A and B are shown apart, each in its own frame.
Chain A
Amino acid sequence: MAQHKIDFTKDGGLPVALTTIDNVVNWGRSNSLWALTYGLACCGIEMMASGASRYDFDRFGTIFRASPRQSELMIVAGTLTKKHAEFIKRLYDQMAEPRWVISMGSCANTGGMFNTYATVQGVDRVIPVDLYLPGCAPRPETLQYGVMMLQQRIRKEKANRSLKPKRLM
């Protein structure tokens, strides 16, 4: 005979929680966005500041990794030169699905003030971008806000495997 009345649907009754697969998977994905260490120019300094103790990306579960194979978020922080374009594509291809890209700052968005022969006029000419952050350079708060926007978006996604991977073309 049960001594207590157990309501399984309420937490506190037992350590049991009822939810959907989508929620669980997206909860995990959105709260462990490991970012590729990818500072290309001065935006990289702001990205480092966001990761350091004052702004503290770790509390979002965003930890910078030095390998594309361990990361699912690529923060393109800085100017992308034409010489480097093939390498960003290669690094993006090495990341495992699902993966997301934040284009951080004016240079990554559109080429910015570098309207010259040597600069790619926006990383979205090379890889698909999920989120564009305006600013030159965006402050760490802006990058945090951007990551939170991305988390919101991930929580709305289906966790289904049949989702098509993003392709530029």
Chain B
Amino acid sequence: MRAYTPKDDVQKKSYYTDRYYVAPQVPKFDVETDDVFAADLKAIKAKFKVSEAYIQVEQMVVYINPKNIHAVMTLLKDELEYNQLSECSAIDFIAARGGFEVFYQMLSMNKRKRLRIKFFIKQDEAIQSVSDVYRSADWAEREMYDMYGVIVKGHPFMKRILMPDDWEGHPLLKTYPLHGDEFAQWYEVDKIYGKEARSVIGPEIRDAARVDRYDTERFARLGHEVDFGAKFDENQAETPIKYQEDEGVFMIKKLDSSESVTITDRDR
């Protein structure tokens, strides 16, 4: 199998650039504009280093040091009343910045506030698990590993959650092709029948625009079904449904409605 080479410039090189296009930015606000968030940020800043913090779409985003993640999450849960970890995952910035941005989306039922903890890690850097603080982090961290290859230390059961255990590659990386690499395209054939079966079964048909003009005639018309791969003849006769009573199967007779009896007397 040919070794998979990462396509590093996928993000750097865009297919089309509009010189006058200005990418829309969601406006950011100062944390001081919200009293609850300001108090939360003050409590975090008292113990940990915060590199950046702002409010976006009424949710506070706080950038912290990746080493402090477990302590920060403990603080958020025990003291700041953020009792739910809605989601945590990574964002692929490998081509642009050489690593991942990891986010933890938090919800406080009491304060009716949502907060997002973020930090940046290098590609080969491992992060600390928070699954002992929030149970929901268990599967979310496994998915993060499955989809991005981010190693999570201290996780009780660190293995893939969606893809098969013997899968190669991490599908949500931006360098991962949508139709899969060679391993993915031959996965089921290799696993069930072995690599020597590749030439027998053949490659996958991945062309979404492929049209067989005979499909409408021999595949999608009732009464015109033909065998797989058979030639369709323009003058082909219809093949209507034959019921088994028509074919003379024993013990089965076609209902003759003139012989049927309508029962009017219920006590017959």
CB within 8 Å of B: which residues of A? 11, 17-19, 23-24, 27, 30-31, 82-83, 85-86, 89, 110-111, 115-118, 120-122, 125-126, 132, 134, 145, 148-149, 151-152, 155, 168-169
Contact = CB atoms under 8 A, between A and B. Distances in A.
A3 B181 CA distance: 83
Nearest to A19: B250
Contacts, number: 83
Given A82-B164, A82-B184, A117 B192 contact: no
Closest 5 CB pairs of A and B: A117-B180, A85-B188, A121-B204, A17-B250, A117-B184
Nearest to B196: A169
B249 A82 contact: no
A88 to B, nearest CB: 9
A169 B241 CA distance: 32
B128 to A, nearest CB: 29
A151 B222 contact: no
Contacts of A148: 241
B171 A118 contact: yes
A117 B250 contact: no
Interface of B: 162-164, 171, 176-181, 184-185, 187-189, 191-193, 197, 200-201, 204-206, 208, 219-220, 222, 225, 228, 241-242, 244, 247, 249-251
17 contacts: A11-B251, A30-B244, A31-B244, A82-B184, A82-B188, A86-B191, A115-B179, A116-B180, A117-B171, A117-B181, A118-B163, A120-B188, A125-B188, A125-B204, A151-B244, A155-B244, A169-B201
A11 B248 CA distance: 13
A86 B188 contact: yes
* Interface of B: prevailing SS: loop
Contacts of B177: 117
Contact of A132 (B163, B185, B228): B228
Contacts of B192: 85-86, 89, 126
Nearest to A115: B208
A134 B197 contact: no
A100 B178 CA distance: 33
Contacts of A149: 225, 241
A125 B187 CA distance: 11
B187 A27 contact: no
A158 to B, nearest CB: 16
B33 to A, nearest CB: 43
Contacts of A83: 162-164
Contacts of B251: 11, 17
A155 B247 contact: yes
Given A83-B163, A126-B192, A152-B242, A23 B197 contact: no
Contact of A27 (B184, B191, B222, B250): B250
Contacts of B163: 83, 118
A80 to B, nearest CB: 9
B178 to A, nearest CB: 6
Given A116-B179, A145-B241, A121 B222 contact: no
Nearest to B197: A169
B249 A27 contact: yes
Given A11-B250, A121-B204, 13 more contacts: A27-B249, A82-B188, A83-B163, A117-B176, A117-B177, A117-B184, A118-B171, A125-B201, A126-B188, A126-B192, A132-B228, A155-B249, A169-B197
Nearest to A110: B205
Contacts of B171: 117-118
